[in-house]
Amino acid sequence: MKRRNFITSTAALGLGATTIGCTPESSTSQAVKNTTPKEKRYQNGRSPWPICLDTATIRTAGTLEQKVDIAIKAGFDAVEPWDGELKDFEEAGGDLKVLAKKIKDAGLFVPSMIGLWGCIPENEEAFQASLPETKNRMRMASEIGCEFVQAIPNKIGENYDPKFAASCYRRLLEIGIKEYNITPALVFVKMFPLKTLGQATALALDTNHPKALVIPDVYHMYISEGGFETMRLLNGDLFAIFQFNDAPKGMALEDMEDKHRVYPGDGMLPLPKILQDLKKSGFKRCISLELYNPEYHKLDPLEVAKTGLEKTLKVIETAGV
């Protein structure tokens, strides 16, 4: 081929390649676009996460089934009950599997139950003694359809042995998953020895178990002084559920108790920024509204549930996630 013809040919090929590369939407990019999964949204598109009602928010509403009815009527995606409510329901002749079907038929689900009290104690003797009640709670949680159950380290001891505690949690994971098809997830609370997200995360990691999880609560992240800034360093798959509320304005941190929680957006926590970081972490599970405020318990439970849901959604919209 002559040099002149070669230059002409390669120029034409280059032009063709450039033309293809600059096409607004090539067949390849269109194929990628068509196969990219669309993000699932909840609450008529207002939230990237399903919104759950922790039944403590409407503690005075009556029976467990009445609380479920309120969650349905208020428009929640899920409901999170407490072990005592499940126990009372069974003792009154109720069937948890029947209630689970009612919840599912209404379009809701039960992500988690609170909880496995005293399941990580100070020594092996106490751990073995706690297992019968722990297993019964796992059974109830499983029968109502939970994926997770909260492992509550309220008896772990102030000077707990991290290695032993991790051993307990690992064994709980094995029991829950293999015997009840349910995954225990670690809780941290300022008033318990396991106080911060960092401490709970460290214990979860030390189990060396692929299903180890923690449950953050924005209120205890604040009052335990563990803070929010390092949450962005964690993968959202570590979180089984995300407890949501707000801390009151004008109150000293050291005076804050669980009963002082307020509706999301009514307090002083940086909730939009927290949710932005949560979204970036890849978290896809439930946001659970958890309030213990006795002032709300004086009000109509359905209105409290509706108000809490709407205020939660407004914070999510403010966050722009």
Domains of the chain: 48-319 (3.20.20.150)
All residues at 6 or more sequence positions from 267 whose CB lies less than 8 Å from its CB, including other chains? 245, 246, 247, 248, 249
Mean pLDDT of 262-273: 98
Residue recorded with tokens 């205020």: 311
- pLDDT score of 8 more than 60: no
pLDDT > 90: percent of the chain = 88
Assess contact for 216 and 197: CB atoms under 8 A: yes
- pLDDT score of 83 more than 70: yes
- Residue environment code for 16-30, b if the CB has 16+ CB neighbours within 10 A, otherwise e: eeeeeeeeeeeeeee
- pLDDT score of 285 more than 70: yes
- pLDDT score of 266 more than 80: yes
- pLDDT score of 147 more than 60: yes
Mean pLDDT of 219-241: 95
- pLDDT score of 13 more than 70: no
Q: Would you place residue 38 in the very low, low, confident or very high pLDDT band (cuts 50, 70, 90)?
A: confident
Mean pLDDT of 164-193: 97
- Cα separation values, 23 from 11, 19, 257, 285, Å: 18, 6, 61, 39
Residue 22's pLDDT is 35
Q: Would you place residue 35 in the very low, low, confident or very high pLDDT band (cuts 50, 70, 90)?
A: low
Distance CA(311)–CA(293), nearest Å, equals: 15
- The model's pTM is 0.87
